Structures are given as structure tokens and as C-alpha cells.
């Protein structure tokens, strides 16, 4: 079973518990706690009993406090993963000569505590003549006076009427706010603002903005200038082929000129200048087009060399390189102009955006700055310059291709953004030019926002009205139900249960007279001498029976039975063994006796045999021992030795466990226990002779005797194989004659 319950208990200066601190995971609140005398179990039961006392006194604090201490505390916390939102807590503080202060009790439990204090106050002090002063009825099965419920019903109905009028006033105020904005009354969203829709769980409107913010937009819409011009769209970036041409050019290999390299170098450094001069040169005039001086023979010869160079492939390709650089730069310049133009469009949009409420939160998307491509342009230009220096090599590489790819991708992305922005700009222009549609949309939003605001500000009142309606429904149903039921007297239930329990324990020896509220011994009333007639064990039993029966006194309605939490401290004091079993069985049937769905129970005891009984009979699910100021899990070997000894022997015989120094004692324990149960008149030695293969195992008898008693040995007397052989004999005997015992320990 899953341990989904967390049980936390801490005390400070509570009897011997100066600092008890326990946090355990358990599967149910059916707990047994074993504690030796003097370890403080009674102080724990007294702490729980403090909660159920009608009047607290200073002596309650003094009795609980550790000797020599002046203050203390008690804290209990129970949580369950099945109910994550429920935290059950109990806290109180105690100070010497002061009344205990119960600061927190959110458990919802009705604690019923049985201990010596209960016996002394409720029976011993009254000479075992219980008090008959039990008044009241348990609701749910009784025809009761319903005046209180009907008065409460009338009160809630008046409260509902008042709150309803208040809320209707708030609805009227919301409608007036919309009327002041000249919103048409035939608008569907306007008509939805009514009292009933505030309580309709299926009616929900969606509007994210506040009513006050939409009023601001309403006023801005009214102030829209009549002559506001349409916003223009940004130009698209032209798709370029220049980058493709550059890739082809860089990759292609050309033939170099045959002219001397030093002469070519001079020309390359000023090729554009030379090309320009050649274009405008008039050969017939024999004058320089730049300085206008007469061209001598050497100058004319140089010009012929220029013409020869420029007519060759190398010069033509260098010219192409220069042209590509110029084109690339020109396109970049054009992109920069478009980006600059977009900035102006964006400024204009942001300035006029406020006039169109439906676009107030929709901004144009930013275009990415061209400077992010600076490094890419640099790479391309550098490669072109390298090509000019040597046109005979291919300069196509991944860096250049990546740079060109980045530029092309940037152009594509910016055009996509321009496309998206153009839709926003078109929407702006359309709405501006059809303002009546924009006003209608805004008016609907104003209605929805005002409804949401009304629902939010009046949420508490709406909840109150819902609660009133729910209470009215519940009360009306409850009144009807109670009017049809029969009443049950608490006193009658106590008498019935007490009588039933006495019969279970004593048969006809003791009974109870409901008129005098006295015990009867064989038809003789024990009005004043019950304490003299009853034995100590019988007194303990009578007290426990009355404790259980008196539980009805603390129940006001049937569902209260499921709030019960029993704390039982050593109920078997001075009892005979058969009474101990009877007491155990009564505890086991508490859930049936009170029709409890989930039993909550803590049994405290210093009697190990009683602890063993309540465990074996599954009266409790969780077993602990109180030691060293905390609760520790109680092992089976302490409370059920026979079962654990048998488990050891069987596992050794099966080869799943090795023999140990305790194995001989386990063998003896099992055989002696069975001997006393089925043949107590026969000595152990004779009894063992009846067991199959016992006599054939020549060392088994000496093994279990020698191994169970102290003796000095200088060497190991028995091998593991010998011991296993003995375990085989005993395990086979139990399996043959008492197979159920083996079944229990192997399941």
C-alpha cells in the first residue's frame, strides 16, 4: 500500500519528551506505538486529550510540562498526497501556572482519548456509576426542531435580495458608462451586459485591454484629422545579378597580356584614368585632352602602347572587374536609400498609429541594418582586387560564396519584411478611409471590456450571491430531509452501545440499568458499591466499554462519525488474557460499530504481547516503537519471534540464507512451540522422536541444545552443511503437518 500520508509530530518539554521530533510516511492512520514504562506515552495521550476538554485549567499545563521546565509546545501536522490542498494541523503551547493556549486546530478531527485520566475523571471518581447527564440528539435520523434552520433560511434570502439589488445597481452604472460614449443600444455586446450573464458560467467574453485604456483610444479615434494622407509603402530591394556575375568572373581563368609586367603594373594602377583619356583623345589635334599640351613623338608612342594594352584580354577583364565593383557599390547605395526611406515611413506610422485603435499594438517590423554585411562586401571587393592583379587564376572559394549568399539572403529577408509591412500599411489606410467600421469594432470592445471590469470588481458580491443561492438550496433540502427523519437520542445510543459491549465481555454477569444509570450484578443494582464489587481488571474493561459508548455524546450529526480519531493508551491494564483478546476485537470492529468509512486510531501500549496481538490480527497497519525522542519502525522479530525463527529455518533449508549463530536457537524455539501447542504433556525429547528423519539426524538434538546455551568452544562444533541438514528436517516437518505456516512466510 502506498505510503501517501505524512505524519509529523514534535514536542518541546512535554514530560520526558524534551525534544521529540518525528516525521514518518505511512499508508493509514491506524497506528500502534510500543513504549516501555517511563518513555512518555501517557504524556502523548494527555496532549491529545487536552484538545477535547471543555474547560482548560492551569493544572493541565503543569501536568504536561517536563519537570524543571516552565514552557513547552506540541505540534501535529498530517498531509495526504491524495488531498494535496488539505493540511491538518494542531498546535498548542503550555506555560507553568497558565491555561494552555491552543493556537491552531485545523484537523477537523474529533479526538477521543482513553487513558488513566479518563478512567479517573469519568468512572473511578464516580465509583463506577457513569454520569447520566447526556443531552441532545444526533441529527440525520431524528425529527428535530427546525426553527433555527428556517430562521437561517429566511435570513439568507433577505441577504440575497439586498446583494442582488446592489449588483443590479452596478450593472445599471456599467450601461450608463456605455451610453455616455454614444454606443448604440442594439449592439449585441451592449445587450449582453445584464445581471444573468454575470452568473452564466458558459458566457465568457474575450478582451485583453482595460476599459479605461479603450476609452483613451475612443477619444483618439474621434480626434483623427480629416486630411490625413495615406501612408506610402516602402520600395522593394531589387534582386541583383551582380553577385552572380562576380562569382563567374572570379572563377574564370583568363590569358595574361604579353606586355612587360612593369609597364602593366603602371597601367593597372591608373587604368581608369588612361581609359578615360583614350576615349576623349583627338589624334588629329595632337594635343593632350587633360593638359592641352602638344603631344611629342614619345608621348604618341606611349599612347600607342596604351592602346595595344587596352585591346588585350587582361585589360578588358580588369575593366570588367572595375565595372563589377562600381555596380556592387551602386546597389549597396540604393539599399541604404531604401532603408532610410523605411525609417521615415515608420516614423509616420508610429505618429498616426494612435488614431486606429485596432492597430495600436501592431508595429511595423524593423528592417535589418546593411552594416551587418560590411564584412561580406569587404571580402568580395578584396577578391575582385586580387583578380585584377592576376586574371590567370581562379579565385572562387567558400568565403566569397558565403559572403555573396549572405547578401542575397539579406535581400530576400528584407523583401519579406517589406511585404508584411505593406499589409499593415494597407490595413492602416483602409481603416483610416473607412472609419465607421473601426468605430463599430472599438465600441464592441468597449462593451466587452466594461463587462469584464464589472465581473472582476464585483467578483466578491457575485460569489456571495452564488453562496447564498447554494446555502438556500442546501437548507431547503436539509429541512425537507430532516422533517422526514426520526430523531436519535445521544443518551439512548450511549446506553445501547454500553449494554452491547458489556454483554460481549461479561455475558449475563454484568448488565446496565438505563433508568438508574447503574451497573447490575446478576440483577442487583450496584448504585454505590460497584467499585467494591468489580475486580481491577473488570474496572478496566467497564471503563473502556463506557469510553467507546460515550463517543455518541460528542456526535452532533451522522457525518461526524467520520471525523473520529481514537487515541487509546493501554486499555488492557490488569486484564486476564482472554479479556485482552476481547478488547482487541472490540477495537478491531470500531469502524463497524460507528459506521466509519476510514478508521483513525493510535494505540499506545507497554505490553509486548498486546502489541503482538493487534499486529497479528491486523488491527493496526503501522507499528512503531517510541525510543530516544522519536518514533521508529518496530521490527517483526521483536513481536512475532516464532514467525521470524521459522522464516530463518525455511530460508536456510532452501539455500537462500546461510546458517548463523542464532540458527540452533531458532530450531529449538520452533520445536518447543509446536510441542507445547499440540502435545504439552510430552517432553521435548520424546516429541522430537515422532518427527520424520529426526532420529536419523544424529546431531540435530545436540545442535539445538548446545547452540542455545552458553559454553566455551575452541573450534567450530558443527559445519554449515550439518546445520542446513537440521533445518531441512524441521522445515519438512512443518511443511508436511502445518503447511499454512510456510505459506504465510513465503507470501
Residue 152 has pLDDT above 70, yes or no: yes
Compute the CA torsion angle 93, 99, 103, 108 (nearest 10 deg). Answer: 110
Q: What is the total residue count of the chain?
A: 747
Residue 369 has pLDDT above 50, yes or no: yes
Q: What is the model's pLDDT at position 99?
A: 94
Question: 709 and 717 in contact (C-beta within 8 Å)?
Answer: no
Q: What is the pLDDT of residues 202-232, one digit of tens each?
A: 888 888 888 887 777 777 666 566 566 777 7
Q: What is the pLDDT of residues 448-478, one digit of tens each?
A: 888 888 888 888 988 989 999 998 999 888 8
Strand partners, 10: 21, 75
Question: 5 and 27 in contact (C-beta within 8 Å)?
Answer: yes
Q: Mean pLDDT over all residues of the chain? A: 82
Q: What is the pLDDT of residues 334-349, one digit of tens each?
A: 888 888 888 888 887 7
Strand partners, 73: 12, 93
Q: What is the pLDDT of residues 396-409, one digit of tens each?
A: 788 888 998 998 89
Residue 596 has pLDDT above 70, yes or no: yes
| Band of pLDDT at residue 29, cut at 50, 70 and 90 | very high
Q: What is the DSSP string of 553-601?
A: GG-SBGGGGGGEEEEEE-TTTT--HHHHHHHHHHHHTHHHHTT-SS--E
| Band of pLDDT at residue 139, cut at 50, 70 and 90 | low
Rounded-to-integer distance, Cα 183 and Cα 446, Å:
9
Instruction: State the average pLDDT over residues 365-376.
Output: 88
Q: What is the model's pLDDT at position 237?
A: 79
As a whole number of Å, the CA-based R_g of the chain is 51
Instruction: State the average pLDDT over residues 440-446.
Output: 80
Q: What is the pLDDT of residues 604-645, one digit of tens each?
A: 998 877 888 888 788 898 889 888 788 888 766 555 677 888
Instruction: State the average pLDDT over residues 679-696.
Output: 82
**Contacts for 308 with CB less than 8 Å, ≥ 6 apart:** 259
Residue of 120, 115, 98 whose CA lies nearest to 48: 115
Q: What is the model's pLDDT at position 658?
A: 92
Lowest mean pLDDT among 16-25, 142-151, 500-509, 737-746: 142-151
| Annotation: CATH topology of 5-136+558-637 | Rossmann fold (3.40.50)
Lowest mean pLDDT among 396-410, 440-454, 597-611, 684-698: 684-698
Contacts within 8 Å (CB) and 24+ apart, 156-162: 156/468, 156/471, 156/472, 156/475, 157/468, 157/472, 159/468, 160/465, 160/468, 160/469, 160/472
pLDDT above 70 covers a percentage of the chain that reads 85
Q: What is the model's pLDDT at position 552?
A: 93
Q: What is the pLDDT of residues 45-71, one digit of tens each?
A: 999 999 888 889 999 999 999 999 999
Rounded-to-integer distance, Cα 156 and Cα 465, Å:
10
The SS3 of residue 19 is strand
Contacts within 8 Å (CB) and 24+ apart, 190-194: 190/443, 190/447, 192/447, 192/451, 193/447, 193/450, 193/451, 193/454
| Band of pLDDT at residue 141, cut at 50, 70 and 90 | very low
Residue 721 has pLDDT above 60, yes or no: yes
Residue 266 has pLDDT above 80, yes or no: no
Q: What is the model's pLDDT at position 301?
A: 53
What are the angstrom distances between the C-alpha of 132 and each of 141, 147, 499, 520?
A: 22, 28, 14, 15
Domains of the chain, by residue range, sit at 5-136+558-637, 144-258+312-473, 640-746
Highest mean pLDDT: which range of 115-119, 436-440, 509-513, 673-677: 115-119
Question: 156 and 471 in contact (C-beta within 8 Å)?
Answer: yes
Q: What is the model's pLDDT at position 549?
A: 93
Instruction: State the average pLDDT over residues 716-722.
Output: 76
Residue 310 has pLDDT above 50, yes or no: no
Rounded-to-integer distance, Cα 137 and Cα 145, Å:
11
Q: What is the model's pLDDT at position 281?
A: 59
Residue 712 has pLDDT above 80, yes or no: no
| Band of pLDDT at residue 142, cut at 50, 70 and 90 | very low
Residue 564 has pLDDT above 50, yes or no: yes
Rounded-to-integer distance, Cα 71 and Cα 64, Å:
10
What are the angstrom distances between the C-alpha of 450 and each of 15, 379, 437?
A: 64, 60, 20
Amino acid at each position: 500500500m502506498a505510503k501517501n500520508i505524512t505524519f509529523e509530530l514534535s514536542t518541546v518539554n512535554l514530560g520526558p519528551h524534551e525534544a521529540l521530533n518525528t516525521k514518518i510516511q505511512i499508508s493509514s492512520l491506524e497506528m500502534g506505538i510500543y513504549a516501555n514504562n517511563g518513555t512518555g506515552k501517557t504524556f502523548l495521550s494527555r496532549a491529545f486529550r487536552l484538545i477535547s476538554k471543555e474547560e482548560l485549567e492551569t493544572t493541565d499545563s503543569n501536568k504536561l510540562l517536563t519537570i524543571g521546565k516552565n514552557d513547552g509546545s506540541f505540534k501535529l501536522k498530517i498531509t495526504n498526497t491524495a488531498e494535496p490542498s488539505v493540511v491538518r494541523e494542531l498546535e498548542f503551547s503550555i506555560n507553568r501556572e497558565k491555561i494552555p493556549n491552543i493556537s491552531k486546530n485545523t484537523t477537523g478531527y474529533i479526538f477521543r482519548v482513553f487513558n488513566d485520566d479518563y478512567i479517573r475523571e469519568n468512572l473511578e471518581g464516580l465509583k463506577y456509576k457513569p454520569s447520566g447527564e447526556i443531552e441532545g440528539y444526533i441529527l440525520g435520523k431524528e425529527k428535530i426542531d427546525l426553527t433555527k434552520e428556517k430562521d437561517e433560511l429566511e435570513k439568507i434570502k433577505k441577504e440575497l435580495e439586498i446583494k442582488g439589488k446592489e449588483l443590479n445597481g452596478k450593472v445599471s452604472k456599467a450601461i450608463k458608462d456605455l451610453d455616455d460614449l454614444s454606443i448604440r443600444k442594439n449592439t449585441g455586446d451592449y445587450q449582453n451586459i445584464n445581471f444573468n450573464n454575470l452568473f452564466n458560467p458558459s458566457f465568457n467574453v474575450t478582451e485583453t485591454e482595460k476599459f479605461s485604456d479603450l476609452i483613451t483610444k475612443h477619444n483618439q479615434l474621434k480626434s483623427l484629422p480629416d486630411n490625413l494622407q495615406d501612408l506610402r509603402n516602402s520600395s522593394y530591394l531589387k534582386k541583383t545579378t551582380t553577385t552572380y556575375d562576380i562569382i563567374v568572373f572570379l572563377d574564370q581563368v583568363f590569358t595574361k597580356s604579353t606586355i612587360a609586367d612593369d609597364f602593366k603594373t603602371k597601367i593597372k594602377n591608373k587604368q581608369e584614368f588612361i581609359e578615360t583619356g583614350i576615349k576623349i583623345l583627338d589624334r588629329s589635334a595632337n594635343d593632350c585632352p587633360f593638359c592641352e599640351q602638344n603631344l611629342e613623338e614619345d608621348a604618341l608612342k606611349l599612347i600607342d602602347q596604351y592602346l595595344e594594352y587596352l585591346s588585350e584580354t587582361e585589360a578588358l577583364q580588369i575593366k570588367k572587374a572595375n565595372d563589377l565593383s562600381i555596380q556592387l557599390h551602386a546597389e549597396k547605395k540604393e539599399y541604404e536609400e531604401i532603408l532610410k526611406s523605411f525609417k521615415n515611413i515608420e516614423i509616420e506610422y508610429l505618429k498616426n498609429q494612435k488614431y486606429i485603435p485596432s492597430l495600436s499594438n501592431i508595429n511595423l517590423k524593423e528592417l535589418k541594418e546593411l552594416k551587418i554585411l560590411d564584412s561580406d562586401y569587404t571580402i568580395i571587393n578584396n577578391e575582385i582586387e586580387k583578380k585584377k592583379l592576376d586574371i590567370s587564376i581562379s579565385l572562387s572559394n567558400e568565403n566569397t560564396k558565403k559572403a555573396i549568399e549572405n547578401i542575397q539572403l539579406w535581400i530576400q529577408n528584407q523583401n519579406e519584411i517589406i511585404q508584411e509591412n505593406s499589409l499593415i500599411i494597407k490595413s492602416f489606410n483602409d481603416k483610416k478611409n473607412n472609419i465607421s467600421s473601426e468605430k463599430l469594432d472599438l465600441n464592441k470592445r468597449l462593451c466587452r471590456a466594461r463587462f469584464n471590469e464589472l465581473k472582476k470588481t464585483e467578483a466578491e458580491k457575485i460569489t456571495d450571491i452564488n453562496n447564498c443561492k447554494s446555502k438556500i438550496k442546501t437548507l431547503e433540502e436539509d429541512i425537507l430531509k430532516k422533517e422526514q427523519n426520526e430523531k436519535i437520542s445521544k443518551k439512548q445510543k450511549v446506553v445501547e452501545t454500553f449494554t452491547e459491549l458489556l454483554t460481549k465481555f461479561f455475558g449475563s454477569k454484568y448488565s446496565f440499568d438505563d433508568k438508574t444509570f447503574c451497573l447490575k450484578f446478576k440483577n442487583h443494582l450496584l448504585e454505590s458499591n460497584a467499585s467494591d464489587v468489580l475486580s481491577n481488571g473488570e474496572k478496566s474493561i467497564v471503563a473502556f466499554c463506557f469510553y467507546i459508548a460515550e463517543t455518541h455524546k460528542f456526535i452532533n450529526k451522522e457525518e461526524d462519525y467520520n471525523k473520529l480519531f481514537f487515541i487509546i493508551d493501554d486499555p488492557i491494564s490488569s486484564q486476564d488474557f482472554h479479556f485482552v483478546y476481547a478488547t482487541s476485537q472490540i477495537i478491531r470492529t470500531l469502524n463497524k460499530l460507528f459506521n466509519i468509512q476510514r478508521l483513525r486510531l493510535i494505540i499506545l501500549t507497554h505490553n509486548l504481547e498486546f502489541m503482538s496481538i493487534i499486529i497479528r490480527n491486523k488491527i493496526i497497519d503501522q507499528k512503531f516503537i517510541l525510543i530516544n525522542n522519536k518514533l521508529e519502525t518496530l521490527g517483526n522479530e521483536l513481536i512475532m519471534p516464532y514467525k521470524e525463527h521459522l522464516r530463518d529455518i525455511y530460508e536456510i533449508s532452501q539455500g537462500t540464507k546461510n546458517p548463523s549463530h542464532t540458527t540452533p536457537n531458532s530450531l529449538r524455539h520452533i520445536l518447543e512451540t509446536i510441542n507445547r501447542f499440540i502435545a504439552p504433556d510430552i517432553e521435548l525429547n520424546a516429541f522430537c522422536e515422532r518427527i520424520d528423519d529426526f532420529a536419523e539426524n544424529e546431531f540435530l538434538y545436540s545442535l539445538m541444545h548446545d547452540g542455545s546455551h552458553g559454553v566455551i568452544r575452541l573450534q567450530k562444533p558443527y559445519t554449515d552443511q550439518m546445520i542446513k541438514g537440521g533445518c531441512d528436517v524441521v522445515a519438512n516437518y512443518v511443511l508436511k503437518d502445518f503447511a499454512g505456516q510456510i505459506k504465510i512466510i513465503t507470501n
